[in-house]
Amino acid sequence: MKEFLHAKLHNVRITETNKEYEGSITIDKRWLRASRIKPYEKVIVADVENGARFTTYVIEGEEGSGIIGINGSAANLVNKWDRVIIMAFKHLSDKDIEGHQVSKVIFNDSNEIKETVVESPFSSIFSNM
């Protein structure tokens, strides 16, 4: 099994931090649906502003709330309104790589979805074989 990116929220802004929460990242349900990231899924969060990276799990936020909430000790690594990249990965067997699709949700400076892309990054590689 090899690990591949399967979903990404790109340049989304943190809307709140809560150091007293037990840990995790809270994400608006509509953005989870757009990205195909699931509640309790492991994600890596990379802060574009300061380079901090951490691993956590997802909690579903209220649909339409626009929340990107960094909770627990990870709240010490980021600031409200920092841009982050949230990445989820998937383990694939060699036979599953060819059909693998990656969901990318790209945000504008107002924290609105600018573009949603679903791509099959390996289709051209396998079509030439």
- Report d(CA 19, CA 112) in Å as an integer: 25
- Report d(CA 2, CA 5) in Å as an integer: 10
Q: What is the pLDDT of residues 53-110, one digit of tens each?
A: 999 999 999 999 999 999 999 999 999 999 999 999 999 998 888 889 999 999 999 9
pLDDT band for position 127 (cuts 50, 70, 90)? low
State the amino acid at position 39 in one-letter form: P
Q: Please state the φ and ψ torsions of residue 127, each to the nearest 5 degrees.
A: -75, -20
Active site residues: 24, 57
What is the pTM for the complete model shown? Answer: 0.93
Domain that holds residue 18: 2-127
Structural domain count, the chain: 1
CATH of the domain at 98: 2.40.40.20
Residues 39-73 as b/e (b if ≥16 CB within 10 A, e otherwise) read: eeeebebebeeeebebebebbbbeeeebbbbbbbe
